[in-house]
């Protein structure tokens, strides 16, 4: 039994791993760089209206879902306030090319029927596609928290195929192909290259049933912190780990930016591996793997616009809305075309506690490459200069113009506007290149985007979105695997969920 476990990073991965280990009786200390814990679960308030920095739609929280099972086991489910998206329209897709709106229902059968009615000539192909898509998801045991699961690769050659090819192998109509790919921004931003099995897991989460928090997403972070503390653990903000001391292949202690040293028996890293590499220097990785890791590509970032709306002007939507200029733009998430930007984006109205018929907030997320603000990469918050402010003003205006096309009259509903760029995302989450989901999972190089749970140091483990799966459901699933690896007993937690 170890006497203390230190977790680097108080985001979703760090807090779930900490809460699981604390529940198993381990003494846990979470070290978080920021003044607020939560990582992707953080929320902020503008003009009295709350916005989520990262977490807008959540899969697996419905009864029986994997995230629901983990939260129930941790005893935090009762503290969470969330609701399902609309059953008859879990997601809306708007295509400006032919002025079409698609209201995609929740549930696998309803989803299948919906597209079969729109494309009757492809009825059998759609059924074959849906069956194969969910058969791929079913092969990922850890996703369903099945005991005895292993990570042996699937024999289905479609598993690592690109999602674009996977869809094209099943249906013929180009419009249908694009529509079936509408969730690609949640699967990794680049539908052309995202491996089909990642795409299948995201589809499973969001087609089966997805939820949104009532009130800020930070409620989940608060619930996890209180569980860790109840078990005698600690969660320390303003504790950026900047150095790791190793001896005989083991981590001996951690040092934080304010000069504190934490002697340790065991460490779980829940930060981006490129950030960990900077902290550990060359000690943990061979020269070759260090070079490979530092040059591994990351997922795209986001340009976000946050609008505080005038009261009683804009209806609350109980689902996200995906917008494209044209059908082919579903394959262009994360790309930047200066002339026609933005060509695809997602918007939603966050759900307040006691949400009424009108929204007070609206958030637009445009998926963009980090390179669009590379020229200010060396600057810090508040000191990026007037040209950056002007660049932002222009881009936010372009987003408003496009929103006006999707929802005519939108401009008149806006009371205040705020924006965030890839630099904001980078600095807020300490995520290299402001990446939304960490290392790119790429069907052309399927193993480059994954990290093992274990490292060269026998008492240093990894968790977070770069191990297995990203997102509010994927990261807690990974936390279960990491916690079991730390305990050294497979299925010790999974059997209790």
Ligand X SMILES: Cc1cc2nc3c(=O)[nH]c(=O)nc-3n(C[C@H](O)[C@H](O)[C@H](O)COP(=O)(O)OP(=O)(O)OC[C@H]3O[C@@H](n4cnc5c(N)ncnc54)[C@H](O)[C@@H]3O)c2cc1C
472 near ligand X, rule: CB under 6 A: yes
Find the shortest distance in angstroms from Cβ 192 to ligand X. 20
Stretch that binds ligand X, among 32-40, 88-96, 111-119, 221-229 (CB under 6 A): 32-40
Measured CA to CA, the distance from residue 178 to residue 168 in angstroms comes to 10
Per-residue contact flags (x/-) with ligand X for residues 425 to 444, judged by CB under 6 A = x---xxx----xx-------
Find the shortest distance in angstroms from Cβ 38 to ligand X. 6
Q: Which string of DSSP letters, residue by residue, matches 285-310?
A: S-HHHHHHHHT--B--EEEEEEEEEP
Burial grade of 110 (CB within 10 A; 0-12, 13-18, 19 or more): middle
Measured CA to CA, the distance from residue 451 to residue 471 in angstroms comes to 16
Strands 5-8 and 414-420 come out as unpaired
Query: Closest residue to ligand X, Cβ-based?
Result: 11
69 near ligand X, rule: CB under 6 A: no
- At residue 43, the 3 state secondary structure works out as strand
Q: Which of the residues 204 through 243 are near ligand X (CB under 6 A)?
A: 240-241
Per-residue contact flags (x/-) with ligand X for residues 49 to 68, judged by CB under 6 A = -----xxxxx----------
Stretch that binds ligand X, among 105-113, 162-170, 176-184, 463-471 (CB under 6 A): 463-471
Stretch that binds ligand X, among 71-79, 259-267, 381-389, 462-470 (CB under 6 A): 462-470
Q: Which of the residues 280 through 309 are near ligand X (CB under 6 A)?
A: 302, 304
Measured CA to CA, the distance from residue 164 to residue 174 in angstroms comes to 11
90 near ligand X, rule: CB under 6 A: no
Count of chain residues binding ligand X (CB under 6 A): 38
Find the shortest distance in angstroms from Cβ 128 to ligand X. 28
Do 305 and 357 contact (CB within 8 A), yes or no? Answer: no
The residue among 19 and 58 lying less far from ligand X, judged by its C-beta, is: 58
Q: Which of the residues 389 through 428 are near ligand X (CB under 6 A)?
A: 425
Do 21 and 28 contact (CB within 8 A), yes or no? Answer: yes
What tokens does 102 get?
């698609």
Measured CA to CA, the distance from residue 387 to residue 23 in angstroms comes to 50
Measured CA to CA, the distance from residue 73 to residue 223 in angstroms comes to 13
Stretch that binds ligand X, among 27-35, 106-114, 163-171, 369-377 (CB under 6 A): 27-35
- What is the Cα gyration radius of the chain? 22
Q: Which of the residues 354 through 393 are near ligand X (CB under 6 A)?
A: none
Torsion angle in degrees (nearest 10) through CA of 165, 169, 174, 175: -90
270 near ligand X, rule: CB under 6 A: yes
253 near ligand X, rule: CB under 6 A: no
Query: For binding to ligand X (CB under 6 A), which residues are involved?
Result: 8-14, 31-34, 39-40, 54-58, 240-241, 270-271, 275, 279, 302, 304, 425, 429-431, 436-437, 464-465, 470-472, 475
């Amino acid at each position: 039994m170890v006497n203390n476990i230190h977790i680097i990073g108080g985001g979703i991965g760090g807090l779930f791993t900490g809460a699981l280990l604390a529940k198993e009786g381990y003494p846990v200390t979470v070290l978080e760089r920021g003044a607020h814990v939560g990582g992707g679960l953080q929320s902020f308030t503008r003009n009295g209206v709350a916005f989520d920095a990262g977490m807008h739609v959540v899969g697996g929280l419905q009864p029986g879902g994997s995230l629901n099972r983990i939260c129930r086991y941790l005893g935090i489910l009762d503290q969470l306030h969330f609701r399902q998206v609309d059953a008859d329209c879990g997601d809306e897709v708007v295509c400006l090319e032919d002025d079409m709106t698609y209201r995609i229902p929740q549930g696998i059968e309803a989803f299948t029927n919906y597209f079969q009615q729109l494309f009757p000539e492809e009825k059998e192909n759609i059924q074959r596609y849906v069956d194969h898509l969910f058969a791929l998801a079913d092969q990922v045991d850890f996703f369903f928290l099945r005991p005895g699961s292993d990570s042996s690769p699937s024999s289905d050659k479609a598993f690592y195929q690109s999602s674009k090819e996977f869809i094209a192998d099943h249906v013929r109509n180009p419009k249908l192909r694009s529509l079936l790919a509408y969730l690609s921004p949640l699967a990794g931003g680049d539908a052309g290259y995202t491996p089909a099995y990642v795409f299948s897991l995201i589809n499973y989460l969001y087609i089966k049933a997805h939820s949104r928090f009532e009130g800020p997403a930070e409620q989940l972070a608060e619930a996890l912190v209180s569980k860790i503390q109840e078990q005698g653990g600690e969660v320390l903000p303003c504790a950026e780990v900047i150095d790791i001391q190793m001896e005989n292949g083991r981590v001996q202690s951690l040092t934080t930016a304010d000069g504190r040293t934490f002697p340790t028996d065991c460490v779980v890293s829940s930060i981006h591996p490129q950030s960990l590499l900077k902290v550990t220097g060359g000690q943990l990785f061979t020269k070759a793997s260090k070079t490979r890791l530092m040059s591994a590509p990351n997922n795209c970032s986001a340009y976000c616009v946050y609008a505080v709306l005038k009261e009683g002007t804009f209806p609350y939507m109980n689902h996200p809305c995906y917008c494209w200029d044209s059908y082919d733009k579903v394959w262009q998430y994360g790309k930047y075309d200066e002339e026609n930007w933005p060509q695809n984006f997602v918007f939603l109205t966050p759900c307040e506690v006691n949400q009424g018929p009108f929204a007070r907030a609206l958030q637009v997320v445009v998926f963009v490459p980090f390179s669009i603000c590379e020229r200010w990469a060396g600057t810090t918050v508040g000191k990026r200069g007037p040209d950056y402010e002007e660049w932002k003003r222009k881009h936010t205006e372009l987003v408003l113009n496009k929103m006006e096309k999707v929802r005519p009259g939108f401009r008149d509903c806006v009371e205040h506007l705020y924006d965030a760029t890839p630099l904001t995302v980078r600095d807020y989450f300490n995520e290299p290149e402001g990446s939304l989901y960490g290392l790119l999972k790429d069907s052309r190089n399927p193993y480059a985007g994954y990290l093992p749970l274990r490292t060269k140091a026998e008492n240093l483990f990894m968790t977070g979105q770069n191990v297995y799966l990203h997102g509010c459901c994927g990261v807690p699933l990974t936390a279960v695997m990491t916690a079991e690896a730390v305990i050294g007993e497979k299925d010790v937690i999974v059997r209790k969920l």
